A = this chain, B = another copy of it.
Amino acid sequence: MNMTIGAFLLDRLRSIGVNRIYGVPGDFNLEFLELLESPDGINFIGTCNELNASYAADGDARLSGLSALITTYGVGDLAALPGIAGAYAEGVPVVMISGSPPLHAFESRALIHHTLADGNYDNVLNCFREFTAAQALITPQNAVDEIERVLRTVVREKQPVYLQLPSDICYSVIDVPQEFVIRSLPASNPVRLASAAEAIAERLTRASSPVLLLDGFVRQYNLQDNLSRFVETSMIPFATMSTGKGVLPESSRHFLGMYAGKASSPELFERIATSDCVLCLGVRFVDSTSGWFSHSLNRNALIDMGMFTASIAGEFFADVTVTELLDAVLAKLPANWSRPVESHAPADRGHSPCSEEWNQTAFWGRIEKFLEQDDVIVAENGTSLVALNRMRLPAGCDYVSQPVWGAIGYTLPAVLGTLLAAPERRHLLFIGDGSFQLTGQELSTILRHGLKPIIFLLNNAGYTIERMIYGERSSYNDVANWDYVKLPAVLNPRVKSSGMVVTDMKELEQALEFATEREGLSFIEVRFEPMDIPEGMEAFGKMTMRYDYGRWAGEEREREHANAPSDISGSMGNK
């Protein structure tokens, strides 16, 4: 069957479920954008810049399962790279298409704009090689093979991939196969599957305190249904890493709380440390999610499942697919299987009741009550993430954050993506002023599409999370004070009075009411003193300082220029 390369790429993107492509036009991607605009195209969402496009695609993919963005070679590609790296770090499947120079320029190594003008056409791809699961430069000869290989990879690995589409071959006609076969989940080796399931079921059966530990992996591979079935049938309670917060309903009677090593509740820390069978689903212990590697598990109790592997107290099984393995384990549990429900009071709900006093504790206490079933809750790094991580979410909520890559500014454009992926739901964004300033212009695109998030901008005059680590009074932690609530009307003159400023509990009540009643976007600036912090943040700051700067951090400043050799604290190991 004959098809142009552009139409073929479009067809394959649609068939893996890409419904929106974010991005910025540039001279090398215009023919493909023309195709997107055609009646059988894909919705193009123009963003203010490419970094924002990558964050929006990431946010979209976290809810929709897969998204895409398009940029222009070099300038746009590198601008989107940090967002793509973030998607890789967090396990988010995003297809990035680079509208690249014409093939004749690649071939002649022509000195052209959007390159270093030194004939090097490898450097951009080399960067993406570091941060994507598959990459290709498309030519008319390899288009079928390479496009299908790269798109199969994004479906299988659920990690970002990268395609360079030279500007001059979009309308080249190639012979393409009619069918695009994707095995989204390769089948397991039956022998290995059976033996792994047997071994796991046997361990679960004799365990006295089994527990499940879940991570973002569950969202990444869309395992929620499998896991729900597994939890409801096995009655084994579960905890989540912060990277996996919300992957199963926190309203479940089996939910134990969020696990973060010694930064967990003491009960949960003990529960995990003393369990004789910890079933981990794609768990990564990262400094910021494990209380700086303070997690404690009995190695002999550990069952570690990856997508296509399992490790049972150190014995490794390749070639088993997790969905099949979970079902096989259930099937092998004894017929009379039952377990008591461990009716935990949510150990990690630390917020005080509402009070008249105005501070972060009071604010978050009220917000916890404001959350509703099926909300999409988006938590920016810093104060918001620390506070929201401690809340128990209502049923059906999605929770979007970026705790591993941890790029401030991620969430504002990410909300554009979550909104477009699920426009019928209520989306709440919590973001600090410092973070907002990185990417805030994307509010423009949210307004342009008539989307209606509730945005809480926490204005505490700077990077409070950094102040908790270092430089409480240092000027580098200050940011300019914007008149935030007036910004929506500047970015979209049709918007009238979408904003409110909150400086006490009464104003907060009014703002929540306003947001509930309002038809359009609500923009609520919530003002705090720079060192007003939510619970958990002080410990976070101290542990970060100790990890990043060593045992004598702070004291060393006093000893500058002194002769004493510096002390480097011993390294902390991986899991």
Contacts and interface: CB of A to CB of B under 8 A. Distances in A.
Contacts of A346: none
A49 B568 contact: no
B4 A560 contact: yes
A395 interface: no
B573 A169 contact: no
A458 to B, nearest CB: 17
Interface stretch (A260-268, A362-370, A527-535, A542-550): A542-550
A81 B127 contact: yes
Interface stretch (A57-65, A181-189, A398-406): A398-406
Interface string A64-108: 000000000011001101100110110000000000011111011
Given A438-B49, A476-B46, A563-B173, A110 B27 contact: no
Contacts of A131: 116, 123
Given A437-B441, A440-B441, A104 B481 contact: no
Interface size class of A (residues with CB under 8 A): 35 or more
Given A405-B74, A480-B491, A483-B489, A172 B568 contact: yes
Nearest to A116: B89
B126 A130 contact: yes
Interface string A105-120: 1011111111111011
Contacts of A4: 560-561, 566
Interface stretch (A314-322, A336-344, A462-470): A462-470
A509 interface: no
A445 interface: yes
A470 B36 CA distance: 14
Contact of A571 (B3, B33, B107, B439): B107
Given A168-B549, A173-B564, A409 B571 contact: no
B51 A51 contact: yes
A251 interface: no
A492 B481 CA distance: 7
Interface in A1-45: 2-4, 7, 24-28, 30-31, 33-34, 36-37, 44
B75 A406 contact: yes
Contacts of A351: none
Given A3-B561, A33-B474, A572-B104, A439 B544 contact: no
A470 B31 contact: yes
Contact of A171 (B105, B126, B557): B557
A75 B405 contact: yes
Given A25-B463, A112-B286, A571-B104, A171 B559 contact: yes
16 contacts: A3-B561, A4-B561, A24-B438, A25-B476, A46-B478, A46-B479, A49-B409, A74-B82, A108-B573, A117-B286, A120-B130, A173-B566, A440-B441, A445-B480, A480-B491, A482-B491
Interface of A: 2-4, 7, 24-28, 30-31, 33-34, 36-37, 44, 46, 48-49, 51, 74-75, 78-79, 81-82, 85-86, 88-89, 101-105, 107-117, 119-120, 123-124, 126-127, 130-131, 140, 167-173, 284-289, 293, 403-409, 437-441, 444-445, 447-448, 463, 465-466, 469-471, 474-484, 486-487, 489-493, 544, 547-550, 552-553, 556-557, 559-566, 568-575
